[in-house]
Amino acid sequence: MQLKTIYELIEEDLTEVGGQFKLLINDKDNTFPELRRMLSQILITGKIVRPALTLLAGKFYDYNFEKLLPMATASELLHIATLVHDDAIDKSSIRRGRPTINKIWGIDKAIILGDYLFAKAGESAAATGNLRVVRLFAQTLETISKGELKQSFSAFNSEQTFDQYLQRISGKTASLFAMAAESGAVLSKAPEESVQILKRYGFNLGIAFQIIDDVLDFVGVEEEMGKPVGSDLVQGTITLPSLMLLELYPKDNPVKRQFQNEGNKQENITEAIELVVNSGIVDKCYRIALDYCTRARQGFERLPNNSSRQALLKLTEYVVERKK
């Protein structure tokens, strides 16, 4: 399953999001050289799942590209802004195969650039002229930052439950996927029932996406992912694979040792990765992710049967098949 195939229906319009990024990078009247250098470093399009969700969710009723484009752009800008702050907090050096803002310019400038990107995302959301969508945007930033704050307060704590994990990834990932889909539906004047189906789709797809992300942090190939493997354990973040590992081996456990600052760090992580791969945990995680994909598809039979519906269904297959 290739993303390119799934995006076929919106391919041209999706390119316009990259076009919006170029406008921001080249906006000489409202920026200055150092800011433009930072923007051209960070405003590259990755999987652009979030803008794709907005556009595809907007394809069921009144496809209004003039409103959908700024919102699709806002979804990706909001995502990138949170990544800039995340990387600053985690002191990450690499993202999408490129050095991070904090790596090149330092944490201080990363904080301010993130704020700038929040502002541009907010302006883009406001450019839809739709107050419901603007409110949704602000609420989503609230939810994301609460999720990040919770994650930060629970770092290096190995006493966590599956529910707490779910709550955290709901906040930091699923809420933004839900916003992307819901806003697309709202802006295309979808009836409320369809808005709710697409919102739920986005939310559950986001959960599945994040679970796979967390699995790939154990079993992914560094070169493909563009960031180092095992980084969650280094940051002290418990994810689904490490939760299961703690449950499977409650007494002696490399995750526990790592969180209690015992043993050799690199060895702990290598051991944790080996255990996750050889214990059936990966399969279990995939089954849970697939379950969330099933939930994502709930109610889809009540949406107009068109090629956008097909694309969104295929996307639920892609998120669990992807290798990066």
CB of 75 to a second copy, least distance (A): 15
CB of 69 to a second copy, least distance (A): 17
Q: Reduced to 3 states, what is the DSSP secondary structure of residue 27?
A: coil
Phi, psi of 98, deg, nearest 5: -125, 155
Q: Which is nearer to a second copy, 132 or 287 (CB)?
A: 132
Q: Which is nearer to a second copy, 3 or 166 (CB)?
A: 166
Q: Which is nearer to a second copy, 91 or 302 (CB)?
A: 91
**Contact present, 69 and 20 (Cβ < 8 Å):** yes
Q: Which is nearer to a second copy, 113 or 311 (CB)?
A: 113
- Terminal Cα-to-Cα distance of the chain (whole angstroms): 13
Which residues partner with 99 through β-bridges? 94
CB of 160 to a second copy, least distance (A): 14
Q: Which is nearer to a second copy, 111 or 313 (CB)?
A: 111
CB of 270 to a second copy, least distance (A): 26
CA separation for the pair 324, 305 (Å, rounded): 30
Please count the CA atoms within 13 angstroms of the CA of 204 that sit on its side-chain side. 23
CB of 184 to a second copy, least distance (A): 19
Q: Which is nearer to a second copy, 149 or 221 (CB)?
A: 149
Report the length, in residues, of the chain.
324
Under 8 Å CB-to-CB from 278, ≥6 apart: which residues? none
CB of 18 to a second copy, least distance (A): 21
CA separation for the pair 187, 214 (Å, rounded): 32
CB of 24 to a second copy, least distance (A): 11
Q: Which is nearer to a second copy, 17 or 88 (CB)?
A: 88
Residues that bind a second copy (CB under 8 A): 30-32, 34-35, 82, 85, 88-89, 107-109, 111-116, 118-120, 122-123, 125-127, 129, 131, 134-135, 137-139, 141-142, 144-146, 148-150, 152-153
What are the distances in angstroms from CA 110 to CA 81, 82, 118, 153, 216? Answer: 9, 11, 12, 21, 26
Nearest to 179 by CA among 139, 127, 122: 139
Which residues partner with 98 through β-bridges? 95
